[in-house]
A and B are shown apart, each in its own frame.
Chain A
Amino acid sequence: MRCLVYAVLLCLASNSAWAYSDASSFDKDPSVETSGGGGGLYFTGSPRQHGLRCQSCHIKGPTNVRLRLSALSAGEVSDLFQRGYVPGEQYEIEVEFQGDDLAPEAGCEGADDEPCNINAFALEILDDAGQPAGVLCPTAPTSGVMGCDACQVPRAQGTLVTSECSVLLADGFDATAFRWHNGARAYSFFWQAPMTDVGALSTYVSAVDGRGQETEEGEVTSFANDGVASVVVGLSSPTVLAEVPSSCRNFRGLSAGLWSLWLGLLFVRRRAAPRRSG
């Protein structure tokens, strides 16, 4: 069984829809010439994105979307999100939506040539200085090649990586077959960890559970009523891991959300406990 991190979203502001028609729009100039792009902002919620996330545009929708992050290393289950990264290691990461609560009533059958029910996200992994760490890539980076050059396929399997391999975007678009993976709930991609220990890292993910077309003629590019989620998951430094007693390691790398949930449950349990008389 894969090691899992359940990203429980506690305090999300409501927001709705897939901001641009496809993920490549985030890189375009926000002018008439491009029909309006993101100007190089990718809305992961990180400091590099000025804290902007999917909720900045997608409003009025549910905020209880849950995501699951898991990882493989060399085809085996990895504890990347529990115990941190190993320098130079190549991980296959999966981001899964725990449910697809929003979908068009009429379904999306026969609508593969258009975005009909897209679950999408933007992800980046940064160091403590807010700089990108490692290389993100839709397919396995070429071994022995350093940096972003190792990512030979910038778009595949419904995902797309930015030109510096620093932000991974999932939009469900298969550029090879020119079709949309409507209703897809999980995307996998690769992350080449930094070659040396660069300290603790943070994984920023912001996601949209697309509601699909509201009517037969409806536009999917509107921003209202999609489900949204944003989460930050820590990746421990290998050095820190080596210094931590093994009995404590499982607590490293937990997201702030999980800590909040754990503390919240503890609080509720204490309050719910029967008072002793006398």
Chain B
Amino acid sequence: MRRVICLAVLGLLACDTGVDPAEVVDLDLGFYECQVQPLLDRSCAFTGCHGDPARPLAVFSTSKLRIAGNELLGEGLTDKELCANYYRTMAFANEDPVQSQLITKPATLDGLTSQYHAGNYMFGPEDPEATCLIAWMRGDIQPLQASLPSEDCALPWRQSAQGLAPECTPRLVDCEAALAGPDTVESVL
């Protein structure tokens, strides 16, 4: 009997990592829309990669994967698409942003060290793209009135038709309502 009790106690101890699970907090949707979404659109959202709806981190984007089919290609993301992207991406955030797979996976190639990332090397942990993602995961916000990129997201390839940093004023979205709503075009900007 004593032996059984010992084994049970050992079993319970084995389940205790001594670390409380990380608190899940909402990251800023506006920052996601204006800074993170373009980054994922450029580096991840290819239809042969994360533009494939079968991927855990499937990404809707203006010119590739659309929730309601090809009719929306070239149009802005719907609220539902934006919110789906936001929640999926946030699911990969980490209390220590540097350890997030959003940072570690794009820095790897195929093979044993790739964390099973089948894609290509896109950016390293010191690159501007990683800095931008880390800033978001650390809680940076995009003020509703702001239209210019955050300093942490000064990505060299971001430019408008005029050669300036593209403007983006975050929309006000009720994601719960958007995700429960239809896939239709009413919410297209």
Stretch at the interface among B21-29, B66-74, B133-141: B66-74
Q: Is B46 a contact partner of A56 (Cβ separation < 8 A)?
A: yes
Q: Chain B interface secondary structure, helix, strand, loop or mixed? A: loop
Closest residue on chain A to residue B33 by CB atoms: A32
Chain A positions 26 through 57: 1 when the CB is less than 8 Å from some CB of chain B, otherwise 0 = 00111111111111110000000011100111
- Comparing A133-141, A218-226, A230-238, the segment that makes contact with chain B is A218-226
- In the complex, which of the residues B63, B71, B160 has the most CB atoms of chain A within 10 Å of its own CB atom? B63
Q: Would B42 and A59 count as touching, CB distance under 8 A?
A: no
Q: Which residue in chain B gives the minimum CB-CB distance to A224?
A: B47
Query: Residues of A contacting B95 with CB < 8 Å?
Result: none
Q: Does B117 contact A (CB under 8 A)?
A: no
Q: Check A39 against B166 for contact (C-beta < 8 Å).
A: no
CB nearest to A19 among chain B residues: B63
Q: Which residues of A contact B64 (CB under 8 A)?
A: 19, 36, 57, 223
Q: Which of A15, A28, A52, A221 is B161 in contact with, Cβ under 8 Å?
A: A28
**Which of B38, B71, B121, B122 has the most CB atoms of chain A within a 10 A radius of its CB?**
B38
Q: Are the C-beta atoms of A50 and B46 separated by less than 8 Å?
A: no
Q: Could you tell me if B62 and A36 are in contact, using CB atoms closer than 8 angstroms?
A: yes
| Cα(A38)–Cα(B121), bound, Å | 17
CA distance A206 to B62 in the complex (A): 23
Decide if B61 touches A36 in the complex (CB within 8 Å). Answer: yes
Interface string of B14-25 (1 = CB under 8 A from A): 000000000000
Tell me if B77 counts as interface (CB < 8 A to partner A). yes
Bound CA–CA A39/B74 (angstroms): 15
- A63 CB, nearest partner CB in chain B, Å: 12
The number of A-B residue pairs with CB atoms under 8 Å apart is: 96
Please tell me if the beta carbons of B63 and A39 are within 8 angstroms of each other in the complex: no
Judged by a CB distance under 8 angstroms, whether A186 is at the interface is no
* Cβ distance B131 to chain A, nearest Cβ, rounded Å: 16
- A30/B160 in contact, CB under 8 A: no
Which of B63, B71, B167 is within 8 Å of A35, CB to CB?
B63
Interface centre among A29, A30, A34, A55 (most CB of B within 10 A): A30
Asked if residues B166 and A31 are in contact (CB atoms below 8 Å), the reply is: yes
Q: A20-B63, A57-B51 are in contact. List 20 more A-B contacts (CB 8 A).
A: A21-B74, A29-B159, A30-B61, A30-B63, A31-B158, A33-B161, A34-B166, A36-B63, A36-B64, A37-B63, A39-B41, A39-B157, A41-B42, A50-B122, A51-B121, A56-B49, A57-B48, A59-B47, A219-B71, A222-B70
Residues of chain B whose beta carbon lies under 8 Å from any beta carbon of chain A: 37-38, 41-43, 46-49, 51, 61-64, 70-71, 73-77, 120-122, 157-161, 166-168, 189
**Interface residues in chain A, defined as those with a beta carbon under 8 Å from any beta carbon in chain B:** 13, 15-16, 19-21, 25, 28-41, 50-52, 55-59, 219, 221-223
| Selected A-B contacts with CB under 8 Å, 17 pairs | A29-B157, A30-B42, A31-B37, A31-B38, A31-B168, A32-B168, A33-B166, A33-B167, A34-B160, A39-B42, A50-B43, A56-B49, A57-B48, A57-B51, A59-B48, A221-B70, A221-B74
Closest 9 A/B residue pairs (Cβ): A36-B63, A36-B62, A39-B42, A30-B41, A51-B120, A56-B46, A40-B157, A35-B74, A32-B76
